[in-house]
Structure formats: C-alpha cells, structure tokens
Amino acid sequence: MTDSEAGPPRGGDRVAGERFASRSTVWGAHGAAATAHPLASLIAIDLLRAGGSAVDAAIGANAALGFLEPIACGIGGDAFAMVWDPRTGALAGLNGSGRSPQSLSLATQRERARGGLIRPVGAVSVSTPGAVDAWWALHQRYGRLPWADLFAPAIALADEGVPVAQTVAHYLAASLRGFSRPGRGIEEVANVQAIWAPAGATPAEGELFANPALARTYGQIADGGREAFYEGPIAEVIDAYFRRIGGWLGRADLAAHRAEWVQPRSTSYHGVDVWALPPNSQGLTTLQMLNILDCFDLKAAGFQTAASLHLQIEAKRLAFEDRARRFADPDFADIPVDWLISKAYAAERAALIRPDAILEPVFAGEAPGQGDTTYLCVADGEGMMVSLIQSNFRGMGSGLCPDGLGFMFQNRGELFSLRDGDANLYAPGKRPFQTIIPGFASRAGEPWLAFGVMGGDMQPQGQAQMIVNLVDHGLGLQAAGDSPRWRHEGSSEPTGVAFAGRGRVHLESGVPDSARAGLAALGWTFGPTDGGFGGYQAIQRWPGRYAAASEMRKDGCALAY
C-alpha cells in the first residue's frame, strides 16, 4: 500500500470488495464454521448436517485441531467459550482453565525460577488441563449428538494421517529445536520426538503425519467421557508420568478440576455491545481499549491513518497497565471489574492521550477505596453461536508428553508472577492469568458476531482492531480480518515484569507509508514485520443467514451451507 492508497476503504485489486481482501466472505443459510484448518471446518459442517448443535460441531472441530494443529492446542491445554443460546436469548460464558498443582509451593517455584520468572518449560509450568472438562460441560448443556460421535472424525484422522499444513510444519520444527536445547531432560525430548519426529525430524509441509497414540486416547475419552481423563485410565498414566519425572501434577489435581460457568461482561461501542469473559482471562482488556476509543471519532480519523493508529496504540498501552496489575484468579484477588470497564474510568484514561505526542509514563489507574492458541466459531440453523478458544500456550507447551498418550501439557503456569503483592502471585490451587479470550458482539439484544484473534498479547489488540474495522469503517467480515494490522509490545506484564518507555510498534507491510511516517514523526519506534499479528476467525449473523471469514495469514478456512 502506497501513500496514494491511504484514506477510506475502496475497491481496487478485486472485481468487488476491498482492494486488500484475500477472498470473499463465505455465506450460508443453515450454518457456518470458521477454524484454523480446512479439515476441522469440514468436520464442523458435517456434524451440523448430521443434526448436531453448534456446540457439538465446535467440540468435534476442536478435537480434530488437537491432532491437526498441535502447535497451538490440544487436550493438555485449557479452553474458554461463549455460547449464544437461542432458547434463553442470552450469552453464557465458560471458564475452562485449570489450577496449579496443590503440591507445588511458591517456595519451590522461586527456587527453580530463572531471572525471577517461572521457567517456560518443564513441570513447574504445568497447570491442570481444562479442555476435556470444558467440552464435557458444554456438551452436557448444549449437545444434541452422542458424545462419542464428536470424536469419531478426529480419531479417524489421527489414525490414518493427513498432510501437514504449512504453518504447522514451521512451528513443529521450531518447537522441537527449542525442546532439544541443552538442559532439557531426555525423557521430555524423547516423548516429544516419539510423537512428532519418530524418524528424527518433524514432518515437512505436505508430508503425511499420523498420531495413533492420540487416536487411542481420544477413543478412551469417547467411551468414558470426562471421567476417563480426570479420574480413569488417562489420569492414572498422567499421575505415573509426573511421579516418574519428578513433577507435581497428580491425580488429585485432575479429579478436583471443574470448569466454571461465568457471566460475560460487556461494553457498548457505537451501537454494538462487545462481550468478554471476566478474569482470570484478559478479556476485559478488549473492553477497556474500546471504552477509551469510544471517546474519539475513529471514523473521522480515517482508515489506516497515523492519527487513528496512534489513538489505538495509546489505548492499548493504558489498558495493558491495568491488565498487568489487576488481572488474576478472582478466587484469590479482589478485582474491580465494574470500575475497570466503566465509561467514567475510560473517559479519565482517554483524557491522558494527546494526538500530537506519546504519553509518558504509562501507568495503571487507581481504583476507588501476554502464545500459541487456536480459535474457532460455529453457528447452527437454530441460532446458536459458539465462540471458543483453546490453547497449550507458548511454544507448543511445556515440552512434557505423558507416556503413550499422544499429547503435550500446556505451560500456562509460566504466566504466574513470583513478586510479592501481585494479584497474580503464584499459589497452589490457583488459576494463572490467561491470555486466551473468545470474542462476541450483539446488537439491540440480538447476536451479531462470534469472533477471535488468537495470539497471546495480540488478542485484545486484534479484537479491538476488528471491531473498529467493522463498526467505524464498515468493512465486510473477511476484509476486516485481511486489513493490515498493528501490534504494540513493551507493556508491563501480569508475570511481574514492569516496562518503562514507549515500547515498539510492529506494522504489517500493508500499512500505508504515510501512516508509518506519521507515527515515526510522533516518536514511535518500529519492530520488524514478524508475522505475529494473530489469527482471525469470525461468523456474523444476518437475518436468515450467516457470513463467515477466516485468517488469510495462516491455514484456516471458513465454510457455510
């Protein structure tokens, strides 16, 4: 995009639609699915056609992604979801995050820490996996098909094998290199290699790959339900594995785990109600960013202009300081949610932003008295819409694979703080701060949008950009995701890492030269265009039909019928 191409969205390279759009939005009257892999999207559509609910289809797709996209998700990780229930006309939220092991103390974490932070690999980073129980809770409330039917497609794929997608091949190789660095236990690397590099190397793009061990594990879950994982034979293997390698997660931690139904919170933005899950998720960060931006006229500021991007970046910096200071497990911390997402507080924060200068320093407000992730959404013919996100966190996970089960444990526990006084301070039996956030929006009390932008700290930044693109600039669903993105790094973190200074702004190559020059003139410094701009999926409800879109930057696919 050149200087002359800046300004309002318009046609150009395509016969119709925005010039930067990679493809058209997908439309269907009976149902839709958008996931990070074409086969997972196809499975979701097949389950809908078989009479399944949107929840059934989402679980089936997520199970398939645990095999197809192991660099991002799997049954060793956690899950969050929001579900629009047409029977009640309301949005339900599910927090499927697991807690830290009861036998792992703060003192032990500090003894084994590196640079004052919890190590990103190994048993100290492992918290109880919540995904399977989250699927079970969703199915118990909203499922229509038999539980076992949801796993049959994933079992078949894992048994037979599929060609590996480009992005997955890239990150599998990078993950294995990371896990093979000096200082890792041989058992950990050996189990990783046995699953994903049995011949000595991870599969290349297009190479057939199978995971029969995961297929067998899925078969046990299909036959035995959640109990097979948390109290039955899988739990026994997990318990024995951590006793063998000297870890802490045990059968008692698994047996005690339960997902929690929570009330989503919302804020209004130019006629749209945007919803998020409360902490320990970072979902409120999206709402805070939008509340601050609601104080400005981004439509008048222009599409992809320096003025607009500057306001968005500053809103991010302000919201992320609150995120670093206050977001934690609400069972362990008193979080002033109502105040954080209030319009009055947003107005105070917005008043700090100057259009002609960068705010320094950035600080959290005074209350009165940061991975790899998969996101998917599904909608069915009855009007149910599911927004689901599931993750092993950073770098594929902890590097720990239980013997013979075909999956890796998450390293979500890395996100605890070890600094006294922090809301997110590590404690046994506590849920860590979570980056994964499903998104949802409604209009006039009716469902409008299930969406997500996976990718660690990019998630609230990306979600806010999607809402701005759709609401302020009137982009179509696919074009909103294809539009060039920005990402700011260099904010304080819930791990206890404090940051002083302006940080760095990363701009995709499609951002206009004039916008880049304008930001530079304000004093922003730039990081590389590094591909870390998230992965978008979305389904939009229209009268009698759905629109669906998927991320052009990755391997995803949107389908509708």
**What residues are annotated to the active site?**
373
Give the sign of the dihedral formed by CA 64, CA 69, CA 74, CA 80: negative
Distance CA 443, CA 297 (A): 20
Which of these, 247, 147, 220, lies nearest to 407 by C-alpha position?
220
Torsion of CA 337, 469, 485, 536, to 10 degrees: 70
For residue 487, the one-letter residue type is R
Token pair of 495 as six digits: 């791990």
Which residue blocks in 231-342 are alpha helix, DSSP H?
233-245, 251-256, 283-293, 298-301, 306-326, 337-340
Count of H helices and E strands in the chain?
A: 18, 18
Which phi and psi angles does 489 have, rounded to 5°? -125, 150
Token pair of 426 as six digits: 């590590």
**E strand or H helix at 386:** strand 385-393
> Is residue 304 a contact partner of residue 511, using CB atoms and an 8 Å limit?
yes
Distance CA 232, CA 352 (A): 55
Length reported for the chain: 561
Distance CA 45, CA 51 (A): 10
Q: Which residues contact 206 (CB under 8 A, 6 or more apart)?
A: 163, 164, 169
Indicate the DSSP class of residue 434: B
Q: Which residues contact 66 (CB under 8 A, 6 or more apart)?
A: 73, 74, 75, 131, 154, 214, 407
> Is residue 507 a contact partner of residue 516, using CB atoms and an 8 Å limit?
yes
Distance CA 173, CA 164 (A): 12
Which of these, 41, 23, 22, 40, lies nearest to 32 by C-alpha position?
41
